[in-house]
Structure formats: C-alpha cells, structure tokens
C-alpha cells in the first residue's frame, strides 16, 4: 500500500476513563511517538465527554493525534494494541465499558478498508463528537472518505456534551 520510503498521514483517537486518564493519554502519546516509522505531528486539546453506550461509568477524556507514518494500516493497529496492553488494558467486560486507555486508528490517509480486524475510516467515528471535535481542531473542515465534510458530520452530533479541559505535552521533533 505504501511505496518504499514514503509515508502517509493517519489520525489516532486516544481515550480513557479509569485511573488517571490524563496520565494515561500522555503515556500513550509518548509511546506513539517512540514507534519506529511514526512521527507525531500534532495533538488536539483534551476533551471530556459522557460515556456512550454504558452510561454508569466515569466520563471519558479524549484527544486526537495526527501522525506521519510509513507503517501499513494493520501494522500501525498492531502497535496501537501493543501500547494499550503495555498500559494495562484488558479487553474483557462490556463493550464500550470503562477502560484505562483506548487507541483507535481513525483515518489512514484516504484509505477505505474493511477486513476482519480493521475498518477504515473507523466505523463509529462519524457518530461521536468526542472524535470529530478534536479532529476538526487539528484539520478544520477536512474532506473525509466517501465525499463527506468533517463539519457536516460534526453538526449531526452537536447534541452530545463535550468540554475542552486542557492539553497534552507534545514536542515536535521536526
């Protein structure tokens, strides 16, 4: 998919609601920045949102990171899952339940992909303000695969509560 020696832009959603979510997001961001073949280029503010699905749990903290990567989508996802595991995430219990850390590959350039382990764009991102707002903070009204505009998708979920609460530490290595 990627030509040898080239790279593509990708966007990663970061979230968590257990323990110290700000520290977990920062640790995940730092780990993402250490992956060979990944260059962290921008990070959104941190947003607080009500849980989706299972409501009897703490609010989530979320952010979005833009990366430049030479990794294929599946390899990048594998690295994201490794970071989650290293930070103590255990995938048991109810779906959409509380978690220490959650890393989602949201977009991989303009790739549209559906395989057993990976769907791009992320299948639920267009329904979630806690993904779209930080993405819009980084990219403005970007075009999305399927000829959609980010601002149009954001308007469709404007009834969801979302509060900007701070930022993560990010130092560009450019």
List active site positions: 89, 99, 102, 104
Calculate the alpha carbon distances from 12 to 55, 76, 86, 159, 170 in Å.
24, 10, 17, 23, 15
Distance CA 151, CA 167 (A): 22
Residue with tokens 């806690």: 130
Strands (E), 70-109: 102-108
Distance CA 148, CA 159 (A): 20
Which among 146, 173, 149, 164 is positioned nearest to 45, based on CA atoms? 164
Number of separate helices (H) and strands (E) present in the chain: 4, 10
Distance CA 127, CA 140 (A): 17
- Tell me if residue 129 falls in helix, strand or coil: helix
The answer to whether 13 touches 33, Cβ cutoff 8 Å, is: no
């Amino acid at each position: 998919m990627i030509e040898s020696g080239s790279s593509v832009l990708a966007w990663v959603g970061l979230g968590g609601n257990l323990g110290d979510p700000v520290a977990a997001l920062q640790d995940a961001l730092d780990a993402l920045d250490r992956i060979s073949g990944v260059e962290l280029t921008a990070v959104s503010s941190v947003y607080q949102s009500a849980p989706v699905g299972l409501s009897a749990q703490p609010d989530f903290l979320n952010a979005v990171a833009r990366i430049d990567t030479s990794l294929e989508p599946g390899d990048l996802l594998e690295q994201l899952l490794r970071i989650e595991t290293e930070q103590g995430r255990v995938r048991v219990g109810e779906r959409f339940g509380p978690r220490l850390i959650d890393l989602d590959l949201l977009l991989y350039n303009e790739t549209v992909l559906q395989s057993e382990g990976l769907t791009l764009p992320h299948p639920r991102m267009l329904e979630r303000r806690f993904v779209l707002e930080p993405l819009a903070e980084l990219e403005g009204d970007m075009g999305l695969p399927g000829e959609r505009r980010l601002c149009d998708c954001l308007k469709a979920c404007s009834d969801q509560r979302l509060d900007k609460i701070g930022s993560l530490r990010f130092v560009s290595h450019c």
